[in-house]
Structure 1
Amino acid sequence: MLRLTWVQPEDLIGHELRQAVQDGREPSAIAARWRAAGGPEAPLTAGASPRPASRCLRLLATDLLDELADLPSSLGDDEPTGLHGIRGLCPDWPTPRPAGSPAAWDDGGPPCPGDPERPEEDGRGGTPQAPGRAPGPRAPSPARLEAAWLGRAVGCLLGKPVEKLPLHGIRHLARATGNWPLTGYFTARGVPGELLTRYPWNRRSAATSLAENIDGMPEDDDLNYPLLGLIVLQRHGRSFTTTDVARVWLDELPAGRTFTAERIAYRNLLGGLEPPLTARHHNPFREWIGALIRADVHGWTNPGAPAAAAEQVHRDATLTHTANGVYAAMFTAAVIATAATGAHDVHACLRTGLTVVPPRSRLARAVERAVRLAHEHADFTTVVDRLHDTYAATHHWVHAVPNTALIAAALTHADGDFAGSVCRAVSGGWDTDSNGATAGSIAGLLAGSPAALPERWTAPLKNRLATSVGDFHGTGFDTLARLTRLEASRP
């Protein structure tokens, strides 16, 4: 029997009960009714329980999801989803550089069609720039953007075989081959059979992401979503709407390539719901990591303009996410927009990212604590253990709050170094491929060019990306960098 993952009501209800506790609702009475009826807990790692529920239990789950949605939240004032509300809570929201002021940086790359020649000219005869967008800095060089695309791919590839594994399993597998602390891709060579049985690699990824199997960059949603973001900009420009994002998904994204919140939103679109209801209806994954992994292209195309990057990704993120799921994307886009200038270290980039996140939100507090831990402890294992002590028992391994905190800790502890950042991000567990991808994108931008990335990481990619999105299958990262720069240079 086909057990479609991430959509069955009996599998959603357990996640929604946990989400309700996290976002300030009181679900205990509803939880008691579910358990009294024999309802199962949420699947620990997979998207579906092993056996389907009875018709009556499924109907009950659907009714309880509706009741949970009606519960009031005590955190609404501190954690709004609307952009106006978010901006109103951010006292240090970045402002655009005044028109006519000198450019703060120059990436040194050759001019690209559409680049402004002088900072005071926007190329449109005085037409206002997008809100929060600095008028005039030159788009990042193709080399810097290629390093970002490569970095995203490397970090994702490193994390793919150990996705869903517990933290202690990741450590045991790496130690078995002398690869701890991590210094290279995972390998099955030399790992005792008993250990592989206890901690099996991600079954879909091992065939293409273990060191002995890598032959180009295999398909992954962490690369598919930047491609979709690029298509959105190509078709609709910076003024795209959330509905434009939905249309591009329906045109270009196979439903089977979606997971968690994205699959729920896709289902909701097919059921006739429109954004932002697509993010809220029967979607217990709305604060998970999916919007964060879509943030990169919005940062890459708004260099030096973190507010514009945050506002742009907000329109993307609210198709599928709310509150802290949206903040994770806004934080990441602002970090990347700042890193894309090449003029700031990783610590300044992370501080800027926090300026677009409501300061009393769970995400802001988690990132601040993670950064503090990274400064306080020389051993990153201690940082990871502290984060897991705080979040592992209460948050799913794909939730945006602990994963964003881990990314920030990894970048801080590695001081933005490329290999150090991706290895720390993956070694911390949870959503290993997504965390490695985001850390790699940021650290790649800071490195500035493909030549600055160690060849042992980039050579196996063979400048070739596999994907089912659009016409991008087999595309090289150098080509993706040029396409991204073109969008970054448009007004």
Structure 2
Amino acid sequence: MLRLTWVQPEDLLGHELRQAAQDGREPSAVAARWRAAGGPEAPPRAGASPRPASRYLRLLAEDLLDELSELPSRLSDAEPTDLPGIRALCPDWPTLRTGPAPTEDRLEAAWLGRAAGCLLGKPVEGLPLTGIRRLARSTGTWPPDAWFTARGVPADLLAAHPWNRRSAATSLAENIDGMPEDDDLDYPVLNLLLLQRHGRGFTTADVARLWLDELPAGRTFTAERIAYRNLLLGIEPPHTARHRNPFREWIGALIRADMHGWTNPGDPAAAAEQAYRDATLTHTANGVYAAMFAAAVIATAATGAHDVHACLATGLTVVPPGSRLARAVRHAIRLARTHEDFDTVVDELHATHADCHWVHAVPNTALIAAALTHADGDFAGSVRRVVSGGWDTDSNGATTGCVAGLLAGSPAALPDHWTAPLKNRLTTSVGDFNGIGFDTLAELTHREASRP
């Protein structure tokens, strides 16, 4: 039986109840009605529950999703989604400025860093923190300073904590043969195509049309899959981000931010605004802030003139300071500066964000900031720390690897054991880019970054 993930109303309802509680609405009455009717909890890790719901429960879930969307939020003033509202809350919003395009070498290091970080995190994506630690320690690689491997892992441990089903065949050390397809690499390629067609002045509607033309629906997940469905229902942006979309504050918009930073070097405000137009197709509030934060960090790192701490500080200037995301990032940076042992930092973050889903933007963005801070921006140190922290390991590894790759400045500055297995080859389903080299991607990105 086909159980389509991330779209079935009976599975969305549980996620929406949690999202409502987190974003300042009061969902208890709706939750009581759902439970009284026998409605299930949200699937804790997978995108679909194992068995279909009755027709009655599905119809009830649809009604309750709409009812929850109408509830007022006590956080709306501190966490707006409209850009003027965001800017009004940011007293240190960066002034518009421009810088020279990053060199092709620096951009290639960023592409390679993104790919390597993603690939390291792929086999353990979605696993609980205890499982990741036990798997790595069983082969003597903790924190993970080499690719994960099944060689030498006890059978009972693999039974208790199986590798990510989609990724093990292409991302364990014994299986790596170039960079396999992953949405964390598809989206930067897609945004390269977006800029080639529309330039930096693209609109959210341009993003939507490009997705429908070039992005297979089956390659979308969580908020992106919901938005894609909404587009096919005739719903236009930005309502695509809100209609029956409990994933609107998850990590999807953040993983699309790199290209916006790469093509606005030294201009974090422009990078954030570009990321905003992309993000609001699928996300609201903290989901949008995460993308803006990442784009501003990357735009600052792309100049090669700032250390990682200045980059992270700049990223915070485009995020409302009273938002959950800003508070989480500041807390994570403080922890990273306080504790010598990064496992202690991770344990504290997991305790603090225990109520968040493992794909939510708030804890994952905090973990990225903590890893970069604790490793002082060093590539290998940053990537292995962020993947060791669990949650959305491949996405976090990708964003962290991009920032640290930019700071490293060239492919030669990245350890060969992280880049050689990539074989300068990316698998992707986007456009005509399948099999493209990272050097060619860097050249094409440099062309867009150099555009007037």
TM-score by length of 1: 0.92
2:414: which partner in 1? 453
Q: Which residue of 2 aligns with 1:423?
A: 384
Distance 1:460 1:298 in 2: 27
RMSD: 0.4
Q: Give the corresponding residue for 1:129.
A: none
| Structure-to-structure mapping, 1:84-483, within 5 angstroms | 84-97=84-97, 134=98, 137-392=99-354, 394-483=355-444
1:72 and 1:341 mapped to 2: Cα distance? Answer: 42
Instruction: String of CA shifts for 1:280-316, please: whole Å, max 9, x gaps.
Output: 0000000000000000000000000000000000000
Determine the C-alpha separation between the residues in 2 that align with 1:96 and 1:357.
Answer: 16
User: Shift of the alpha carbon at 1:159?
Assistant: 0.2
The one-letter amino acid of 1:23's match is D
Distance 2:149 2:384 in 1: 15
Larger Rg computed on CA atoms? 1
Amino acid of the structure 1 residue aligned with 2:403: I
Give the deviation of 1:181 after TM superposition: 1.7
One-letter code aligned to 1:267: R
Supply the distance in 1 between the matched residues of 2:2 and 2:162 (Cα, whole angstroms). Answer: 23
Q: Find the aligned partners of 2:190 and 2:169 in 1 and give their Cα distance.
A: 25
Q: SS of the residue aligned with 2:159?
A: helix
1:182 shift after superposition: 1.5
**Displacement of 1:203 after TM fit?**
1.1
Work out the number of aligned pairs and report it.
452
* Inter-partner Cα distance in structure 2 for 1:206 and 1:241: 37
Aligned equivalents of 1:186, 1:442: Cα separation in 2: 22
Cα shift at 1:3: 0.9
Give 4+ residue runs of structure 1 displaced > 4 Å after superposition: none
1:34 Cα offset (Å): 0.0
- Give the SS at the match of 1:426: helix
Q: What does residue 446 of structure 2 align with?
A: 485
Q: Distance in 2 between matches of 1:405 and 1:204?
A: 26
Measured in 2, the distance between the counterparts of 1:21 and 1:203 equals: 31
* Distance apart, 1:243 and its partner CA: 0.2
- For 1:460 and 1:479, how far apart are their aligned partners in 2? 17
Cα deviation 1:138-184 (Å, max 9, x = unaligned): 21000000000000000000000000100000000000000012211
> What's the CA shift for 1:189?
0.5
For residues 6-44 of structure 1, the C-alpha deviation after alignment (integer angstroms, 9 at most, x for no partner) is 000000000000000000000000000000000000001
Instruction: Give the match's secondary structure for 2:442.
Output: helix
- What is the letter of the counterpart of residue 357 of structure 2? H
Corresponding position of 1:24: 24
Q: Deviations over 1:339-373 (max 9, x none)?
A: 00000000000000000000000000000000000
Distance in structure 1 (CA, Å) of the matches to 2:256 and 2:143? 29
Shift of the alpha carbon at 1:96? 1.9
Residue by residue, what CA displacement relative to the aligned partner does 1:110-143 show, whole Å, maximum 9, x if unpaired? xxxxxxxxxxxxxxxxxxxxxxxx2xx2210000
Letter in 1 for 2:55: R
* 1:445 counterpart letter in structure 2: L
Q: Which consecutive residues of structure 2, in runs of 5 or more, have no partner in the other structure?
A: none
Determine helix, strand or coil for the equivalent of 1:356: coil
The percent of aligned pairs where both chains have the same amino acid is: 82
Structure 2: distance between partners of 1:341 and 1:47: 39
Runs of at least 5 residues in structure 1 that lack an aligned partner in the other structure: 98-133
**Deviation of 1:465 (Å):** 0.2
* Aligned equivalents of 2:248, 2:128: Cα separation in 1: 23
For 1:181 and 1:9, the matched residues in 2 are separated by: 39
For the residue of structure 1 that corresponds to 2:432, the secondary structure is coil
User: Post-superposition shift, 1:2?
Assistant: 1.1
- The 3-state SS of whatever aligns with 2:401 is helix
- Letter matched to residue 378 of structure 1: E
Partner Cα distance (1:17, 1:203) in 2 = 28
TM-score normalized with structure 2 length: 1.00
